[in-house]
Each structure stands twice: as C-alpha cells, then as structure tokens.
C-alpha cells in the first residue's frame, strides 16, 4: 500500500471512529446550513465539528429580536440596568469617561460591533486593491488572532487532515491545530538554497492530496520575511494548479504583521486578495486584526474573513453562522470596550499619520539591524532572510541556540531559541540606540560558547 493510500486509510479509520462517537441526530439548524453549503468547497472542507456547528435561536438571537422590537420592557439579556443604561461602577466610569456605559461594559454582539466590522472591511479593500469587488463574508470579530485561528481550525481541521506550512512557524499553531484537532503538520523548508521562498517545497508538501490546509504567515514569525511580488505570483500559481488538479484547499492567511514592510518589491497586499476568487476549489481565509499592525496587543480583537470563487451570498452567510456558533460555544463574544476603543481610534483624525510614524520608527530599527549583521558576518550566526515585521532570526552553526539563549539570559538579555538551531530577536522591542549593544552581546556570547566548545 502506498504512503498516500495508507494515510487515506488511516484517515478513513479515524473518521469512522469519530462518526460512531458522534452517532446522534444532527441539529436541524446545522443540517440546514450544511444543505446550503452542499457541493461547495466550503462544504467539502468542513470538519466533523464544523458540520455539526450552528448558531442557535436561543438567548442571543432572541435578545437581538428584543433589542429591535421590545419598546416597553426588555427582560432578556443577563445584564443589570439602571434607568435604561447598563450599570457601570464609578471607578470604571472615571477611567473610561469618554465612553458610554453601553460602549464600555455591555456585551458585544457575537460577531462583533456592526460598525467596526463594516469599517474593517473597508480597510481590507483599501489595503488590498486586488480584492476589488470580490464577494466575501463581513469580517467577524474574534478574541484576538489566536482565537480566530482556533475557530478556523475547529471548523475545518480533522484528525488525519494535513496542515501544510513552512518549517519556521509560530509554535502556537502546533497547540491549536495539531494538539487540539489531531491534524498532521506537514512542513517544508521556508527558504531555498538561494534564500527565496520555497515554492517547490510548498508544492511537494501538498502532493496529490484530495484535501489540504495551507497556512501562510507574512511577514513571517519568526524570520520577519515577506515574499516578493514575483514569489507571491508563484505561490498563487502553484496553489491554483493544485486546486485545479482536484485538491480542495483551505488557505489560511495569518496576517498578524500586515503592512510592516521595509524593502521595495515586496508583496504589499495579503495573498488573500489574490486567492479570494482564484478557484472554486479554494476557500481563502484572512485572519487579521489590530494586535500588531495597530499596536493594540492587549485588546484581544481579531477578525476572520472568508472568500471563495463561486460561493453565493447564502453560502457565505452559512459560513458566518457556523463561525458565530463556534464563537458562541467558546468565548461567547469578544471584549466590547476594546471594540469600542478600536472603532473610535480608527475613526479619529490623524490616526493613520501617527501609525505611519510608528511604522517608520520600526523601519529605522530594521535598517540599524540590517547594517549590523551585514558588517559583522559571523560563521556562528547566519541571519535568515528578513525584510519586514517585528523579528529577525539567526541560524546557529556549530553552537546550540538554546545554550546561546541561556548564556545571554545570564547577562540579563532575553531572546527566543527555536529548537537547537535558530535564535529569534524581536528588534521591535529595543530602542534604536540600544540595538548595537544588544547585537554586540549576542555575537560575543556566541563566540564565547564556541571557544568553550559548548554545544
């Protein structure tokens, strides 16, 4: 039996076991949504929980109706009101005085504030002109990008499925998708020998599968790499070719560091824009938010947006309802005050200009680091390609990245070791004037380990 046939047989056995475990009648609302999605790539890609997911016509839905029609009394939602307004204790009210009690402490709708969702969609189209007028879902608010990625994996990733992504990736993907969902991570080397994005490696990792989940994160964490426009076109072409050859693809774009680009010729848009209408066998998912690109890390506000060629309005609505059900089942809804603050900030005069100034500051730090590593040229620490984002990473040659991390920690310097081979530095956290001292200490510590023969 071939390796692929063995994998298919294993997946079938898992699916059979899971089916017996869930041998109970499917909720009628879930069945209705599945019927709407039937025959589409979204319907075929759904996981077991995804097929069973729905948004109930319960408290939340009934409260929404009451908000629209209960003009006398509204005794639905589990909140406390006084004279028609949510109760807010004075210490909180003093801290957030520009916000009303509703804006500050009331529950947000499960999919997020309608005004914020609409504004974020406007921004997606403005920042990604290739998207044009392509039909998409309205971005749905999740509790940070992590929760957005988690929700997508719950709806689409099953045990036995393949999650294809570069070998240099954010470690939390493993917990969310491999550990929780039992999905197999299939890695390919991020870079070729000449330091280009490894499109052929991506192609080989997908192989001849009938279903695959591809997760791409640009600018990449941990390397700080974004493909060039030409590389992006190659990625697009290979993914479309795989789809047209019969593979149903869920392509997830983790755009956490979107827009933080420091070199000409890089892809300034999300690849989501190119894949949104590329093939009827591709479901594209954009997971983004203000966390990194708007410097609002602790807000825990993220967005999930779906698109796919040939998906009807009814099918996109069905996807939204399944995602709403998954959000309802896990976090119920995301922070109202964070959404209110973000909405007000995005609408404020001068916001874009100030954000551009902070991004320019990050670019100056990048330029400083670029100059340092170009001048040093160490055989022990080889910088991986970087051109964007918050990070850069060294490949450690002849020394252990973990040993180097610990040695630096003894000097009061924090870095991140990725296994024994790579050391990640977040230049985003270090003032420009302190970067030479930091990197001098890193190079000196590496040389010290080599001289002591520490592996």
**Distance from first CA to last CA of the chain, Å, rounded?**
42
| Interval 350-378: pLDDT, tens | 999 999 999 999 999 999 999 999 999 89
* Per-residue pLDDT band at 288 (split at 50, 70, 90): very high
| Residue from 336, 341, 339, 366 nearest 351 by CA | 341
Q: Which of 236, 194, 242, 146 is nearest to 385 (CA)?
A: 194
Q: How far is Cα 53 from Cα 34, in angstroms, rounded to an integer? A: 9
| 25 pLDDT tier (thresholds 50, 70, 90) | confident
Ranges for all domains in the chain classified under CATH 3.40.640.10: 110-346
Residue 160 region by backbone torsions, left for phi larger than 0, else alpha for psi between -120 and 50, else beta = left
What global pTM score does this model have? Answer: 0.91
Residues 6+ apart with CB under 8 A from 90: none
Q: What is the CATH number of domain 351-452?
A: 3.90.1150.10
- Answer whether 241's CB lies under 8 Å from 278's CB: no
pLDDT (tens digit per residue) in 100-126: 999 898 999 999 999 999 999 999 999
pLDDT band (50, 70, 90) for residue 403 = very high
Q: Which two tokens stand for residue 386?
A: 């970087």
Structure tokens, 130: 């290739």
Confidence category of residue 272, pLDDT binned at 50, 70, 90: very high
Pair type for strands 211-217 and 162-166:
parallel
The pLDDT, as a whole number, for residue 23 is: 58
What are the residues whose beta carbons fall under 8 Å from the beta carbon of 241, sequence distance 6 or more? none
Q: How confident is the model at residue 12 (pLDDT cuts 50, 70, 90)?
A: very low
Model confidence band, residue 76 (pLDDT cutoffs 50, 70, 90): confident
pLDDT, residue 404, reads: 97
CATH 3.90.1150.10 maps onto the chain at 351-452
Higher pLDDT, 156 or 57: 156
- 110-346 folds as 3.40.640
Query: Vertex 143, ends 358 and 131: CA angle to 5°?
Result: 65
pLDDT at position 1 over 50: no
Residues 322, 32 contacting (CB under 8 angstroms): no
- pLDDT of 237 reads 98
Q: What is the pLDDT of residues 243-270, one digit of tens each?
A: 999 999 999 999 999 999 999 999 999 9
Q: Return mean pLDDT, the chain.
A: 92
Sequence-distant (6+) residues with CB within 8 A of 297 are 291
Where is average pLDDT lowest: 55-64, 76-85, 295-304, 415-424?
55-64
Q: How confident is the model at residue 17 (pLDDT cuts 50, 70, 90)?
A: very low
219 cis-preceded (ω within 30 degrees of 0): yes
Q: Give whole-number Cα distances, 349 to 234, 259, 344, 355, in Å.
A: 39, 20, 10, 12
H or E element: which one contains 425?
Answer: strand 422-426
Alpha helices in 304-454 (DSSP H): 313-330, 336-346, 351-376, 401-410, 435-452
Q: Which long-range contacts (CB under 8 A, 24 or more apart) does 401-410 make?
A: 403/449, 403/454, 403/455, 404/442, 404/445, 404/446, 404/449, 407/445, 407/448, 407/449, 407/454, 408/441, 408/442, 408/445
Structure-model confidence comparison of residues 11 and 293, the more confident one: 293
Residue 71: band (very low, low, confident or very high) from pLDDT cuts 50, 70, 90:
confident
d(CA 165, CA 183): 12
pLDDT over 80 (residue 8): no
For the chain, give the number of residues: 455
The proportion of the chain whose per-residue pLDDT surpasses 90, expressed as a percent, equals 83
């Amino acid at each position: 039996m071939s390796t692929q046939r063995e994998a298919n047989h294993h997946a079938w056995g898992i699916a059979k076991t899971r089916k017996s475990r869930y041998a109970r009648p499917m909720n009628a609302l879930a069945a209705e949504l599945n019927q709407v999605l039937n025959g589409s790539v979204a319907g075929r890609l759904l996981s077991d929980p995804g097929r069973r997911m729905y948004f109930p016509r319960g408290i939340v839905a009934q409260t929404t109706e009451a908000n629209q029609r209960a003009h006398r009394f509204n005794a639905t939602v589990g909140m406390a009101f006084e004279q028609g307004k949510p109760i807010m204790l004075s210490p909180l009210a003093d801290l957030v005085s520009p916000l009303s009690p509703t804006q500050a402490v009331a529950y947000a709708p499960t999919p997020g504030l309608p005004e914020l969702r609409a504004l974020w969609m406007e921004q997606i189209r403005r920042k990604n002109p290739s998207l044009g007028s392509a039909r998409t879902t309205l971005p749905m608010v999740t509790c940070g990008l992590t929760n957005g990625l988690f929700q997508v994996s719950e709806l689409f990733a099953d045990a036995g499925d393949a999650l294809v992504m570069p070998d240099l990736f954010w470690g939390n993907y493993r917990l969310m998708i491999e550990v929780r969902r039992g999905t197999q991570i299939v890695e390919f080397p991020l870079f070729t020998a000449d330091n280009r994005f490894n499109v052929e490696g991506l192609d080989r990792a997908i192989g001849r599968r009938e279903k695959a989940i591809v997760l791409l994160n640009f600018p990449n964490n941990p390397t700080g790499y974004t493909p060039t426009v030409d590389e992006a076109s190659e990625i697009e072409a290979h993914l479309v070719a795989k789809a047209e050859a019969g593979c149903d693809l869920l392509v997830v774009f983790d755009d956490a560091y979107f827009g933080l680009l420091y070199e000409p010729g890089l892809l300034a848009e999300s690849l989501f824009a190119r894949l949104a209408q590329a093939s009827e066998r591709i479901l594209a998912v954009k997971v983004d938010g203000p966390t990194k690109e708007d410097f609002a890390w602790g807000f825990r506000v993220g967005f999930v947006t779906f698109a796919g060629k040939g998906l009807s309005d009814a099918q996109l609505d069905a996807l939204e309802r399944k995602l709403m059900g998954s959000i309802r089942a896990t976090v119920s809804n995301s922070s109202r005050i964070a959404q209110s603050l973000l909405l007000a900030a995005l609408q404020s005069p001068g916001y874009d200009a100030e954000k551009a100034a902070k991004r320019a500051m990050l670019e100056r730090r990048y330029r400083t680091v670029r100059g340092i590593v170009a001048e040093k040229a160490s055989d022990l620490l080889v910088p991986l390609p970087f051109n964007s984002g918050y990070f850069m990473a060294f490949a450690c040659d002849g020394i252990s990245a973990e040993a180097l991390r610990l040695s630096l920690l003894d000097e009061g310097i924090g870095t991140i070791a990725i296994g024994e081979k790579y050391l990640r530095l977040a230049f985003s956290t270090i003032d420009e004037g302190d970067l030479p001292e930091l990197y001098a200490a890193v190079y000196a510590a590496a040389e010290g380990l080599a001289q002591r023969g520490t592996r």
